[in-house]
Chains A and B, each alone.
Chain A
């Protein structure tokens, strides 16, 4: 897949290949995370959108059923049952407004609440006539507005619109934003979910789920996913890729690698998560080291069965809390996960060592062709990320240069000191 952005956030233009492990490097504040955010927003809003729209419609029907009469809990007819009957009838097909009026009349005829049937018919008939594409567009607009805090369109260019394109082998999906409007077109259905892993501290919220709403949508996503999957853990093992027969060997390899950092295991007691260390001590997830939290997030996604074959994993500077030794291990884990589960992985990094490790492990695991490397470059009004001037070499240059600059400064300083000493001697 190619993921193309125009005038989104700081990005004036980005065109990146996502068919394995895509790495984006660049200085701070150059739009690296924007690509990750847009990718996350794109997959999350477009994946399973028909179900989401059906849910919205159901909720819409609920709202107007409530508004059309004075229902009282335990005293009058159950509005939810009536609403559900109405919604199902609409789903089965309604020819025209008269037929809808008839259906509503039949459902509510024995109900002990006076219903404004005309009002309800009007509202529900308008809902029925809104195209799915329009609903998808509205949904995308709201989702991205929330994700980008209302600043979707690049404000430094004179562009009137911002565009996200996902180009697949069999079609192109487009989301086009103007200031108040969005048009979303889907040629290729999105079947896979995206998970965004940024700050490992979000793991703390597994043990304080009531506060999870203070997190941003993007931070909340992984934690809510893990929390929602908790009930299923003991009842439905088929949901877990770690336990499917076909994946056994792959799973063994990933587990074995993960256990080099995550040496203990996860236990859930009284709805709280603990890390059982090698000595058998149960440590509250909030108290484990940040480095370990980074591995725990991956462990939870896998063990809860949520991360599935061909899903999208977005990692924002994952190396940031890791010692170089664990950076290497994390890079190996990412490469192995990609190979075994064919994940689409997008990584933003500042680390030369992490980048080198990713490169090495893609070679070691026989998938060097699945590594795509990009660097941000300044353009008028923002930053671009595309094929131009993009080689692994240019990424390495960008990340290693400060080390050499410091070394050169040290040399110059040493030379100056020597000259001063010589002058003093004279």
Chain B
């Protein structure tokens, strides 16, 4: 099956903002299929391995590029300082924007979703927001009120492996059947505060999401 590419103007605007920071080759590496974005280096497998697939922004890859570029600037600014460390903002695995300018930050977890894992994703949630808005503002596309925009337009989706999260997968399935989403208790506080919505999918719900994505 042919891979979907996102053609709407909102996503293209993000792509051009990204491109303004990178070489052509670097920019090309920042965009890949969801399957690649969900690749788990440790287990050498992807959380999402289905059709349809869709090209997305691999925000964590872009974060590395931006971190390295920033590090160069810092080193030239403070040439006499030794042991300077590169700062790479924590970022989610994938980002996509639909035709209604709804932004989706997608993080993959190929493990059991427990309180430790849920605690660990919080840094990435907020790091990604900062990284995206920072990139936008530097490219001259800054928003007037980024917190308002995030509350109204940005959704965070945690995608976990169904095989490793049978109980949660059943809950997710039941909620989705009712047209609702499953949000773990510890992430409710982020809804309407930092994000429009926060919820968890398995690869099966992500497949439907991609199929319907415009």
Does A71 have its Cβ within 8 Å of any Cβ on chain B? Answer: no
User: Cβ of A396: which chain B residues have Cβ within 8 Å of it?
Assistant: 166-167
Does B141 have its Cβ within 8 Å of any Cβ on chain A? Answer: no
Closest residue on chain A to residue B207 by CB atoms: A411
CB-CB contacts of A344-362 with B at 8 A, as 1s and 0s? 0000000010001000000
A352 close to B211 (CB less than 8 A): no
CB distance from B144 to the nearest CB of A (A): 39
Does A407 have its Cβ within 8 Å of any Cβ on chain B? Answer: yes
**Interface segment out of the listed A6-14, A166-174, A197-205, A397-405:** A397-405
Does A408 have its Cβ within 8 Å of any Cβ on chain B? Answer: yes
| Dominant SS among interface residues on chain A | helix
Interface size class of B (residues with CB under 8 A): 10 to 19
User: Cβ of B207: which chain A residues have Cβ within 8 Å of it?
Assistant: 411
Which B residues form the contact surface with A (CB < 8 A)?
162-164, 166-167, 169-170, 173, 204, 207-208, 211
Closest residue on chain B to residue A415 by CB atoms: B211
A400 close to B169 (CB less than 8 A): yes
B170 close to A352 (CB less than 8 A): yes
B204 close to A407 (CB less than 8 A): yes
Whole-angstrom CA separation of A397 from B165 in the bound complex = 9
A393 close to B166 (CB less than 8 A): yes
Closest residue on chain A to residue B1 by CB atoms: A415
Whole-angstrom CA separation of A82 from B105 in the bound complex = 92
Given A352-B170, A403-B173, A404-B204, A397–B211 Cβ distance below 8 Å? no
Give the 6 A-B residue pairs with the shortest CB-CB distance, closest first. A396-B166, A400-B166, A400-B170, A397-B166, A407-B173, A356-B167
Whole-angstrom CA separation of A403 from B174 in the bound complex = 10
User: Cβ of A400: which chain B residues have Cβ within 8 Å of it?
Assistant: 166, 169-170
Whole-angstrom CA separation of A384 from B167 in the bound complex = 26
User: Cβ of A403: which chain B residues have Cβ within 8 Å of it?
Assistant: 170, 173
B173 close to A404 (CB less than 8 A): yes
A411 close to B208 (CB less than 8 A): yes
Given A407-B204, A408-B204, A397–B167 Cβ distance below 8 Å? no
B170 close to A411 (CB less than 8 A): no
Whole-angstrom CA separation of A352 from B207 in the bound complex = 24
A residues 369-418 touching B (CB-CB < 8 Å): 393, 396-397, 400, 403-404, 407-408, 411, 414-415
User: Cβ of B166: which chain A residues have Cβ within 8 Å of it?
Assistant: 352, 393, 396-397, 400
User: Cβ of A352: which chain B residues have Cβ within 8 Å of it?
Assistant: 166, 170
Which A residues form the contact surface with B (CB < 8 A)?
352, 356, 393, 396-397, 400, 403-404, 407-408, 411, 414-415
Whole-angstrom CA separation of A415 from B167 in the bound complex = 27
A-B contact list, 20 entries, CB within 8 Å: A352-B166, A393-B166, A396-B166, A397-B163, A397-B166, A400-B166, A400-B170, A403-B170, A404-B162, A404-B169, A404-B173, A404-B204, A407-B173, A407-B204, A408-B204, A411-B204, A411-B207, A411-B211, A414-B211, A415-B211
Task: Using A352-B166, A397-B163, A411-B207 as known contacts, list a sample of 12 further A-B pairs with CB atoms less than 8 Å apart, ordered by residue number in A.
Answer: A356-B167, A393-B164, A396-B166, A396-B167, A397-B166, A400-B170, A404-B169, A404-B173, A407-B173, A408-B204, A411-B208, A414-B211
Closest residue on chain A to residue B162 by CB atoms: A404
CB distance from B165 to the nearest CB of A (A): 10
CB distance from B214 to the nearest CB of A (A): 13
User: Cβ of A408: which chain B residues have Cβ within 8 Å of it?
Assistant: 204
Whole-angstrom CA separation of A397 from B163 in the bound complex = 7
User: Cβ of A407: which chain B residues have Cβ within 8 Å of it?
Assistant: 173, 204
Whole-angstrom CA separation of A190 from B21 in the bound complex = 78
Closest residue on chain B to residue A418 by CB atoms: B211
User: Cβ of B162: which chain A residues have Cβ within 8 Å of it?
Assistant: 404
Whole-angstrom CA separation of A112 from B167 in the bound complex = 79
CB distance from A248 to the nearest CB of B (A): 36
Whole-angstrom CA separation of A400 from B173 in the bound complex = 11
Whole-angstrom CA separation of A393 from B167 in the bound complex = 9
User: Cβ of A404: which chain B residues have Cβ within 8 Å of it?
Assistant: 162, 169, 173, 204
Closest residue on chain B to residue A393 by CB atoms: B166
